[in-house]
Amino acid sequence: MTGGLHHVELWVPDVAGAAGPWGWLLGELGWVEFQEWPAGRSWRHDGVYLVLEQSPALSGPVHDRTAPGLNHLAFTVPDTAEVDRLWAAAPGHGWTHLFADRYPHAGGPDNYAAHLSDPWGYEAELTTP
């Protein structure tokens, strides 16, 4: 297949720390652990993989989702009940709620989604199809 997404690589300042929140979330979404090495971890889902890597070439200690570059990763969940379940459980796994005052319609009245941030500023959106 030409043009399909192959992988996404997030450079994180603490791969062991980031693997906690991301590992929980990806596992809940059906991703499977794929690879592990001293400076990185990856998970795979439907032929696409997501990498967390602690590169020595990092230019700073946190991600700024409002700066040019990656704003967030959005994942599809089957229904609103699953969005609600993950929203409720996420803080216990290292995630912070974003836009809590507008949950679950921060993206507008026709969008049902949870917006979460990890301790390093990376955002994950969980949305219904």
Within a domain: 25:
yes
109: domain CATH number is 3.10.180.10
Cβ proximity of 13 and 62 under 8 Å: yes
Positions in the chain whose pLDDT score sits under 70: 1
Question: Which tens digits make up the pLDDT trace of 107-118?
Answer: 999 999 999 999
The verdict on pTM exceeding 0.85 is: yes
Specify the amino acid at residue 99: F
Torsional sign, CA 28, 55, 57, 4: negative
Domain region containing 96: 7-55+70-127
Question: Does 80 fall in a domain?
Answer: yes
Backbone CA torsion sign across 22, 60, 67, 4: negative
Q: Identify whether the C-beta of residue 94 lies closer than 8 Å to the C-beta of residue 102.
A: no
